């Protein structure tokens, strides 16, 4: 026996959709990937001159290795200042740097749950959680977002799913992949549930900079919840996925926050995983990125508007316009068809790679895609998708 059981738990082969994609590419056929969410592939790139300047400025401080388990104070202070600008008091001593949100989730799961305990996640969900849960030996349970109510949380159902082994509730807002944004009323009710049952909230806000028709993001850390872990990073915020800079901000009751930070410090000290040069570059990256972030947000909003305009008028598709983020989820309303085969047909006939809804535990037949792309390319793709949907509906 060479491997643990986890080696058999993960998929060993590509699914049919990805096998079809690979075969098309091997034949030299063009495939437009509308699932990755890597904005660099769509031509959105942080200014090279500013990145170079930030790294150059950071070099002297990073030259001699003197790590801090929480992350370098200058970086944490810059992140604290960022939150102060959006009206959230989050002192630097309540921030832990990580190399990205995936590791942040792993830290939170390990901090909050014993083997076999439960983490309550939204459904539709994100495949990443299953992998992290397996690595942490915790069980995922789910609460539903109701498509018929614009993907709002069903809070009554959520509370009915709690058990004596539930340790935390995950909130993703803006949500991936539906684009839903939880409003203040929902967050206050969620906080009341957390208070009644003494539960932590893990608030994933990686798409917080990308809101449509909203002036601010409602944040669980501004509620009366007993313990909130706010996750974010530079991957989406600054279009810098390769920098690998993220963080966990901790708010709540003083004793809980202090214990959480002590334990997170020990976890981080075990690995010291965050690049020191990048840490010292954080202040300048946040300080000087304003113009880029403004143009970046405008471009994402224009892409969203383009996708919504075309797809809202398409036959056999139903769309709840996303209120934030990079993704949209489309419900197939045409004649009944197998979900995976529908997406394979779309790929073969239109060269568009989208995800089937079952990847995200969506009921019914859905297509999930990102709308962040070069605007001209996106417009053409959305019209192809609408044409495909019309044709498949008529053929049925």
Domain boundaries, the chain: 13-45+291-395, 48-288
CATH of domain 48-288: 3.40.640.10
pLDDT band at 345 (very low <50, low <70, confident <90, very high): very high
Would the pLDDT of 396 be above 60?
A: no
**Residues 169-200 pLDDT 10s:** 999 999 999 999 999 999 999 999 999 999 99
With b meaning 16 or more CB within 10 Å and e meaning fewer, what string describes 109-129?
bbbbbeeebbbbbbbbbbeeb
Look at residue 380 in the predicted model and tell me its pLDDT.
98
**Residues 245-270 pLDDT 10s:** 999 999 999 999 999 999 999 999 99
Would the pLDDT of 114 be above 90?
A: yes
Average confidence (pLDDT) over 327-352: 96
Average confidence (pLDDT) over 331-351: 96
The CA distances from residue 262 to 74, 103, 104, 162, in Å, are 20, 17, 15, 27
Alpha helices by DSSP H, 272-338: 276-288, 290-312
Fold observed for domain 13-45+291-395: 3.90.1150
**Between β-strands 200-204 and 166-172, what pairing exists: parallel, antiparallel or unpaired?**
parallel
Look at residue 238 in the predicted model and tell me its pLDDT.
98
Both structure tokens of 305:
């508007």
Look at residue 13 in the predicted model and tell me its pLDDT.
78
Nearest alpha-carbon partner for 279 in 6, 69, 94: 69
Average confidence (pLDDT) over 146-170: 98
**Residues 267-314 pLDDT 10s:** 999 999 999 999 999 999 999 999 999 999 999 999 999 999 999 999
Asked, colleague to colleague, whether 13-45+291-395 and 48-288 share their fold, the answer is no
Nearest alpha-carbon partner for 110 in 271, 276, 254, 241: 271
Q: What is the mean pLDDT of the chain?
A: 96
State the distance between the two ends of the chain, measured CA to CA, in whole angstroms.
51
3-state secondary structure of 253: coil
C-beta separation of 122 from 172 below 8 A: yes
pLDDT band at 395 (very low <50, low <70, confident <90, very high): low
């Amino acid at each position: 026996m060479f491997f643990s059981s986890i080696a058999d738990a993960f998929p060993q082969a590509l699914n049919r959709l990805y096998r079809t994609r690979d075969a098309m590419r091997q034949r030299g056929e063009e495939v437009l990937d509308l699932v990755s969410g890597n904005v660099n592939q769509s031509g959105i790139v942080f200014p090279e001159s500013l990145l170079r300047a930030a790294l150059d400025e950071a070099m002297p401080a990073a030259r001699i290795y003197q790590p801090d388990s929480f992350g370098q104070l200058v970086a944490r202070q810059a992140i604290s200042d960022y939150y102060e600008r959006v009206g959230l008091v989050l002192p630097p001593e309540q921030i832990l740097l990580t190399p990205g949100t995936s590791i942040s989730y792993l830290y939170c799961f390990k901090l909050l749950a014993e083997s076999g305990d439960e983490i309550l996640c939204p459904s539709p969900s994100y495949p990443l959680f299953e992998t992290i849960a397996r690595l942490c030996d915790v069980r995922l349970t789910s609460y539903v977002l109701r498509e018929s109510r614009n993907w709002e949380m069903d809070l009554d159902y959520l509370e009915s799913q709690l058990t004596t082994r539930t340790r935390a509730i995950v909130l993703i807002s803006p949500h991936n992949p539906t684009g839903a944004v939880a409003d203040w009323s929902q967050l206050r009710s969620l906080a009341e549930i957390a208070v009644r049952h003494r539960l932590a909230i893990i608030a994933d806000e990686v798409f917080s900079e990308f809101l449509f028709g909203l002036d601010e993001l409602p944040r669980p850390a501004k509620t009366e919840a007993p313990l909130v872990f706010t996750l974010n990073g530079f991957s989406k915020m600054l279009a810098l996925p390769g920098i690998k800079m993220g963080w966990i901000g901790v708010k709540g009751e003083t004793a809980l926050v202090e214990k959480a930070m002590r334990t997170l410090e020990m976890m981080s000290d075990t690995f010291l995983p965050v690049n020191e040069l990048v840490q010292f570059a954080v202040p300048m990256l946040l300080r000087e990125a304003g113009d880029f972030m403004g143009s970046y947000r405008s471009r994402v909003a224009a892409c969203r508007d383009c996708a919504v305009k075309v797809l809202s008028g398409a036959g056999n598709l139903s769309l709840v316009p996303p209120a934030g983020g990079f993704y949209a989820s489309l419900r197939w309303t045409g004649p009944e068809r197998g979900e995976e085969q529908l997406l394979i047909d779309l790929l073969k006939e239109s060269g568009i790679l989208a995800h089937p809804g079952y990847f995200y535990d969506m009921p019914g037949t859905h297509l999930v895609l990102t709308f962040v792309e070069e605007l001209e390319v996106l417009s053409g793709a959305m019209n192809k998708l609408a044409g495909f949907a019309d044709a498949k509906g008529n053929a049925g």
